Structure 1
Amino acid sequence: MSMPNLDYIKELAGDDIEFENQFIQILKTEFPSEKVFYEKAISENNFYDAAQIVHKLKHKFNILSMTDAYALSVTYEEELNAQNMEKDEQFLNALCTIETYLKTI
């Protein structure tokens, strides 16, 4: 699985370090609660809410240049809408990768 990086954010921000830092802060603020929301939805077999949060999270994969995880989340969102959570473990691994990464930036 691809590792997260800030290449896309740096490209968007250009020389605007303040914008880059604000973007990173938004990720650090939103991600933990979204991960908790996902885990709660899965534990309750709430496929609709799980699919909704996967939809939101897939954009964070894209922003962090995690192309493999983005592709996984596109497929997984469709599967959740069909009440299939087989890719839960793979998805959680991707979330843990982001969680670890956000602590380093």
Structure 2
Amino acid sequence: MEQPNISYIQSMSGGDVAFEKKIIAIIKEEFPLERAEYTNNFKSKKFGLAAQNVHKLKHKISILGLKKSYDIAVAFEYNLLDGNSELNEDFESILDTISHYLNQL
């Protein structure tokens, strides 16, 4: 599985380390809250709301350089809108990978 990285953040920063740290801090703060909200909505079978959560989370997936995972998130978002939860295991695996990575930063 692909691994998260901060290459995109570094490319946006132009070498401004303070900017990089600020973006990383925001992601570290928001990600667990967004994940929890997604989990609650998914478990409650509120797939429309879960799709909105996936939409928010997929931007963090992209920022962390996870191109294949982003594609899975896009497909999962559309699946949820159709009431299909088929890609949940894959999506949860992506979230686990990101959580582990953020805990290491």
TM range (shorter): over 0.9
1:68 aligns with: 68
Q: TM-score, normalised by structure 2?
A: 0.98
**Superimposed CA distance per residue, residues 4-36 of structure 1 (whole angstroms, 9 cap, x where no aligned partner):** 000000000111111000000000000001110
| Partner in structure 1 of residue 56 of structure 2 | 56
> Which residue of structure 2 aligns with residue 94 of structure 1?
94
- What is the CA–CA distance in structure 2 between the aligned matches of 1:15 and 1:33, rounded to whole Å? 29
Task: State the alpha-carbon separation in 2 of the partners of residues 41 and 85 from structure 1.
Answer: 12
Choose between structure 1 and 2 for higher RCO, CA contacts under 8 A separated by at least 6 residues: 1
2:57 is equivalent to residue 85 of structure 1: no
Gaps of 5+ in 1: none
Structure 2: any 5+ residue segments left out of the alignment?
A: none
Q: Hey, what's the Cα distance between the residues in 2 that align with 1:87 and 1:42?
A: 12
Q: Deviations over 1:56-75 (max 9, x none)?
A: 01111110000111000010
**Residue type of the alignment partner of 2:4:** P
Among all aligned residue pairs of Structure 1 and Structure 2, give the percentage whose two residues are the same amino acid.
Answer: 41
**Correspondence list, 1:38-49, <5 A:** 38-49=38-49
Q: Name the amino acid aligned to 2:75.
A: T
- Can you list the C-alpha shifts for 1:40-89, whole angstroms capped at 9, x where unaligned? 01110001110000000111111000011100001000000000001111
Say what the alpha-carbon RMSD is for the aligned residues. 0.6
What code does the residue aligned with 1:51 have? Answer: A
CA distance in 2: counterparts of 1:12 and 1:90, whole angstroms: 28
